[in-house]
Every structure is written in structure tokens, then in C-alpha cells.
Chains A and B, each alone.
Chain A
Amino acid sequence: MAKILMKGNEAIAEAAIRAGCEAYFGYPITPQTEILEYMSRQMVELGRTFLQAESELAAINMVYGAACAGSRVMTSTSSQGFSLMQEGISYIVCSEVPAVVINVMRGGPGLGNIQPSQGDYFQMTKGGGHGDYHVIVLAPATLQEAIDLTILAFDLADKYRSVVTIIADGMIGQIMEPVELPEIEPPQRPDQPWALTGAKGRERNIITSLYLGGPNLEEVNLRLQKTLDEIKANEVRYAEHMLEGAEIVVVAYGTAGRIAQTAVKEAREEGIPAGLFRPITMFPFPYARLDEVAKSVEHLLVFELSAGQMLEDVRLATRDRLPIHFYGKMGGVVPSPAEVLTEIEKIASP
């Protein structure tokens, strides 16, 4: 299949369309706005549903409504907008309807800036909104991976009847690179006997996240936790580079993982036994595999475009059994591979 040159945001949008996304609701915010713009043309031309909402609050609740109808639905936003969507995401998760949310992260806190950042790790992987829940979080490091994970996101949302998110950043959203767009058959979706399509020839369906009185809510909580257990058992994904004989392993995801991959390769060229462990599912985090990897190495170097958020999960995975170094950049500052290489060198020759 021929590769074509695409911008990240547009590649994500096109991937969603090919995955059979039937409805898109969104609100402009840099650096993800090209997703909205791409959808505004393509979805309308395909006769699918596109609507620019009045806010991220409205957008996520439109997603909620369309999801209740059984529609394959998505929204996209950037960090500040994701904060606003947290309320709706909590409702969608509790209601057990499928939806996909793309977050192309930018700098924060506050209004921050529009540069690439990974500052939303906590709010995406640790629940984020109110109540006990997690959503699946997929982290692409290349545009091809962004396409593949976006397609996967819709299937996982259907499978677990929950929210699946893409944790991208301004770099993934804004760069261009050659990609392959898969031709996809119309999706085979599970039956949706729960959908709100009108109570014709059946009992009425009710979709709610309200469970007053007695043990009702606890039963739902336990069911949601059981689903999370299945997700943890089935959906852990990660990539490994040059772990053979590695003594210093960099742990990084998304754009940081991509930068680290170059740095690790250069370290090897210098004779430093470095490797890369790159989580792809940030939830469920690959705790067990990272723990295994850490058993045969001397040092871990966690590299993030944040103050150290995934760092906490790396420490949990390894229980601090080995030295864990951290290199982080905030405020939209994106280090070069050479800067990461310097950090590796410092560990190799203290």
C-alpha cells in the first residue's frame, strides 16, 4: 500500500472515519483543531453526523447522547478541554456506553501554552473525574501508531462499553509524516440491546448513572471494577527497543518515547548499553512487564514532557528496587535526542 504524507491531527481524523465513526462532536482548541476541521468536511460529505458544540462540556454530552443511541462516536480536544470533559466522561463510564476521546495535549496548568506536553498523564490515567473509574489510555509515538491506535480505540470502546482515550501531544498532532491508511471493512460491532432507539417491540431501555439507595451503586462499582480487571488482563501494550544486554533502560511514552528511541540508538553507538521501554497503554500500565525488564538492568531513566507523572507508575512497578533517574521538561519545552543522550551518559559515567 502506498504511503501518503499527512498531518497528525488529520491522520487521526481519517483513521476515525475509516474505523466507522458515525458521529463527531467537538470544540476548537489548539493544537487539535485540525481534527475538528477535517471532520467538518469529511463527515458531512459522507453523510455522517458532525457538529461543532458550544463548549467541551456540551461536546462530551453530545457524545454521551449519541453513544446512548448506539452510535460509533468520538470527540477530540486538548488538555484544558479534556479537564472540562471529565464530568461527562465519568457519566459515560458509569452508564457503560462506548465512546472515544482524543486528547492532543498542550502545556499547562491554567491556560498554559499550545506547545507539546505530557502534563495530562495524571488526569487521563488516574480516573480524572469524580468517582471510582479508569479509562483506557493509548499513547502513540508516531503518526502510523496514532492511526492504528485510533482504529483500535473504537473496537476497545465497543468491547468494554467504556471510554477509550488517545493520549497524544501537540507534536503528534502537528507534525507530518508518511503513513499508511488501512482499508477497513464496515466494523463488526457487538449487539446493543441496551441502546436508546425507541421502545418498539421490547421493554423500555433506561441509561442512567444514578443508583440511589442500598447496595445498587456498589453493584455497579463492582461491575466496573471487574471490567477494569479484564482490561488489565487483556489489553496491556508496550514496545521494547534494544533491551538485549541493556543496563540503562529509558522509560518514555508518546513523543518522549520517540525522542528517547533516537537517544538510545546513539548511546549504543557510543558503546553505552542503553535500551528503551515504551508503554503504549498508559492505562492499563504495563507494571508486570516493566518489573520484569527492570530485573536485569542497573538503572531506569524516566523521561517525560512533565514534572514526573508516569514516574510514579514506574516506581510502583519496580517498588524502587533499582535507581530510577528522572529527566523531565515542562512548559512545552521538547528536548532533543542529544539532551536525552546527555542524561544517559551522566548515568553511564557519573
Chain B
Amino acid sequence: MERKAVFANPEALTDDLTHYCPGCTHGIVHRLIAEVIDELEIREITIGIAPVGCAVLAYNYFNLDFAEAAHGRAPAMATGLKRVQPDKVVFTYQGDGDLAAIGTAEIVHAASRGENITAIFINNAIYGMTGGQMAPTTLPGQVTTSTPFGRDVKLAGYPLRVAELIATTSGAAYVVRRMVTKPATIASAKKAIKLAFQAQRAELGFSLVEILSSCPTNWGLSPLEALEWVEESMAAYYPLGDYKVIDEVKSLR
């Protein structure tokens, strides 16, 4: 009987096993990015920048040229790479501590300059790699190893809504928030990632896709419970949606 492959690893992914915990959604987002890169046939011109955080080893999993940045500085590094090679596709892959705490200045100014790069922003409301401390996106009342009594906003301030913030910059062309909890939301996230890369290809400016993600290990939940928490608690504070889509990007749809 003739056998036909109907499903395979994207060319833009390596065969390496990831180090991500069971139930973590990093793996899903990696795959979506890789599928988009394959579909757009841009693997040979795409350069990724890994963050400091759980995705610090992302360069092991993407079959692309890749750099590993200092904590929070991926947008600056991407700026340097892109400015000297404007014909390449450059994206950063950053978590919430990296992008929304230590690297806030870099992401805001990259967006404000209309830097023609794409940021994939993984918001899981916690510092995963260091073992579950409060992130800038940790929800009010959320227990972490550094908010053992729950995040007290009087003490620790409020969570930062990144997509809304970046959407206020004039240089941003495409800023949306998605989640990857079930097939429908995953399909929607993939469309957003694709549009972000297409916007960059069309030289329309800065694009950011925020993805609400799960961290069962550090949340102390099962993988399924974690996905439910994303849908019920995180999406309530961080509404899904399109926060900025300029007309030229709309016409790419």
C-alpha cells in the first residue's frame, strides 16, 4: 500500500526534544511559528532572538539562524540585526519577565521606532525559569514564590497589559493578544503570528503577538486546570483581541 505523509515536523523546527515541562504551551507556540515560517517560505532568511527565561534555549529547537540575547535586550539586538540586513526577517521570542519587566524600555522603543521586527510575547503570569516568582503580569491575588500571600497590589503594584501599552505607539503596525488553549484558539494564534510575519515582510513596521500561556509547574495546577485558568482568569484580566491593526496590515488578510 502506498503511504503518504500527511503530518510532519515543520522544516523550521529541529528534531531536538524540548526541555519544557509537561503541559507548558511554549511547545505549541514554537510549532506555530515554525509552521508559519515554512508556509511563508522564509526559513532561509529568518533570524530569531531567544530571551532569558524558559525559552532561553529556543535556539536549539528552531532550524534557523538564532541569537541568544541578554535579559530583556532582545528587541535591541533584533534592531541591530535588522538594521544592517533589512532584507531578513527578524523576530524575538520573549517571556513576560524578559519583555515586560527588565526589557520594558527596549520593547517600547523598538515599537515606537516602528522597528520592522516581530515580537512573540509569551505571557504566563510568572517567572518560570527561576522557579515561579512574581512577574510583571502576575494577576492580583496570585500566589507565587515571591508573593506567598498573593499579589497585593498595594505592595507589588498592578499587572501590566502589554498589548494595550504597545498599541499606543505610533510605530506599531500590528498588535494583538491570543491564547493557545484549544484547537480554535490555537488556529487563531497561528493566523496572528502569520499576519505579524507578513506585516514585517511588507515592511509595515513593528508587530507583536501576545500569547496567554500556561505554566502548570509553577502554578501548581494540572495541564488541563492550567489551560482553564488561562481561559477564565488570565483572559479576564488580559482580554483577547486586536489592539492595533493598521489598514495596510488589514489588507494582507
CB of B105 within 8 Å of the partner chain: yes
A208 in contact with B84 (CB, 8 Å) = no
B81 in contact with A69 (CB, 8 Å) = yes
Q: A54-B106, A198-B47 are in contact. Are A65 and B76 (CB under 8 A)?
A: yes
CB of A61 within 8 Å of the partner chain: yes
Q: A49-B84, A66-B84, A208-B59 are in contact. Are A55 and B70 (CB under 8 A)?
A: no
Pick the contact of A62 from B50, B57, B63, B79 — CB < 8 Å?
Answer: B79
In the complex, what distance in Å separates the CA atom of A64 from the CA atom of B77? 6
In the complex, what distance in Å separates the CA atom of A61 from the CA atom of B49? 12
CB contacts under 8 Å to A, within B157-186, are: none
Q: Residues of A at under 8 Å CB distance from B?
A: 22-23, 25, 49, 51, 53-55, 57-59, 61-69, 71, 73, 87-88, 91, 95, 196-201, 204-210, 212
Q: Which residues of B sit under 8 angstroms from A66, Cβ to Cβ?
A: 80-81, 83-84
B105 in contact with A54 (CB, 8 Å) = yes
In the complex, what distance in Å separates the CA atom of A59 from the CA atom of B80? 9
Closest to B85 in A: A69
B46 in contact with A198 (CB, 8 Å) = yes
Q: A49-B84, A67-B80, A69-B85 are in contact. Are A207 and B106 (CB under 8 A)?
A: no
Size class of B's contact patch?
20 to 34
In the complex, what distance in Å separates the CA atom of A65 from the CA atom of B76? 7
B81 in contact with A61 (CB, 8 Å) = no
Pick the contact of A204 from B45, B65, B88 — CB < 8 Å?
Answer: B65
A197 in contact with B64 (CB, 8 Å) = no
In the complex, what distance in Å separates the CA atom of A59 from the CA atom of B50? 18
A68 in contact with B67 (CB, 8 Å) = yes
A206 in contact with B80 (CB, 8 Å) = no
Expressed in whole angstroms, the minimum distance between the Cβ of B84 and any Cβ of chain A is 4
Q: Which residues of A sit under 8 angstroms from B68, Cβ to Cβ?
A: 206-210
Q: A205-B65, A210-B56 are in contact. Are A49 and B81 (CB under 8 A)?
A: no
CB of B43 within 8 Å of the partner chain: yes
Expressed in whole angstroms, the minimum distance between the Cβ of A209 and any Cβ of chain B is 7
CB of B66 within 8 Å of the partner chain: yes
Expressed in whole angstroms, the minimum distance between the Cβ of A96 and any Cβ of chain B is 13
CB of B240 within 8 Å of the partner chain: no
A199 in contact with B80 (CB, 8 Å) = no
CB of B69 within 8 Å of the partner chain: yes
Q: Mask for B77-95, Cβ within 8 A of A = 1, else 0?
A: 1111111110010000000
Q: Which residues of A sit under 8 angstroms from B77, Cβ to Cβ?
A: 61-62, 64-65, 68
CB of B39 within 8 Å of the partner chain: no
B70 in contact with A87 (CB, 8 Å) = yes
In the complex, what distance in Å separates the CA atom of A210 from the CA atom of B52? 10
CB of B73 within 8 Å of the partner chain: yes
Q: Which residues of A sit under 8 angstroms from B70, Cβ to Cβ?
A: 61, 64, 87-88, 91
B67 in contact with A58 (CB, 8 Å) = no
Interface centre among A49, A53, A67, A206 (most CB of B within 10 A): A206
In the complex, what distance in Å separates the CA atom of A58 from the CA atom of B69? 11
Expressed in whole angstroms, the minimum distance between the Cβ of B246 and any Cβ of chain A is 23
Pick the 4 closest A-B CB pairs, nearest first: A65-B80, A61-B76, A208-B68, A200-B44
In the complex, what distance in Å separates the CA atom of A210 from the CA atom of B46? 21
Interface centre among B67, B69, B80, B81 (most CB of A within 10 A): B80
Expressed in whole angstroms, the minimum distance between the Cβ of B171 and any Cβ of chain A is 13
In the complex, what distance in Å separates the CA atom of A22 from the CA atom of B81? 12
In the complex, what distance in Å separates the CA atom of A65 from the CA atom of B81? 5
Listed by A's residue number, 9 A-B pairs whose Cβ atoms lie within 8 Å are A59-B76, A65-B78, A65-B83, A95-B67, A199-B65, A200-B44, A204-B62, A208-B67, A210-B57
A207 in contact with B109 (CB, 8 Å) = no
Q: Which residues of B sit under 8 angstroms from A67, Cβ to Cβ?
A: 80
In the complex, what distance in Å separates the CA atom of A207 from the CA atom of B50? 10
Pick the contact of B44 from A49, A68, A198, A208 — CB < 8 Å?
Answer: A198
Q: Which residues of A sit under 8 angstroms from B81, Cβ to Cβ?
A: 65-66, 68-69, 196
Expressed in whole angstroms, the minimum distance between the Cβ of B217 and any Cβ of chain A is 18
Pick the contact of B80 from A54, A62, A198 — CB < 8 Å?
Answer: A62
A196 in contact with B67 (CB, 8 Å) = yes
Q: Which residues of A sit under 8 angstroms from B84, Cβ to Cβ?
A: 22-23, 49, 66, 69, 71, 73
B45 in contact with A198 (CB, 8 Å) = yes
Closest to A62 in B: B80
Closest to A59 in B: B76
In the complex, what distance in Å separates the CA atom of A312 from the CA atom of B208? 51
Expressed in whole angstroms, the minimum distance between the Cβ of A36 and any Cβ of chain B is 16
In the complex, what distance in Å separates the CA atom of A256 from the CA atom of B70? 36
Expressed in whole angstroms, the minimum distance between the Cβ of B71 and any Cβ of chain A is 9
Q: A88-B73, A205-B65, A206-B66 are in contact. Are A64 and B85 (CB under 8 A)?
A: no
Q: Which residues of A sit under 8 angstroms from B85, Cβ to Cβ?
A: 69, 197
Expressed in whole angstroms, the minimum distance between the Cβ of B98 and any Cβ of chain A is 13
In the complex, what distance in Å separates the CA atom of A63 from the CA atom of B106? 14
Pick the contact of A61 from B43, B44, B45, B80 — CB < 8 Å?
Answer: B80
Q: Which residues of A sit under 8 angstroms from B83, Cβ to Cβ?
A: 23, 49, 51, 62, 65-66
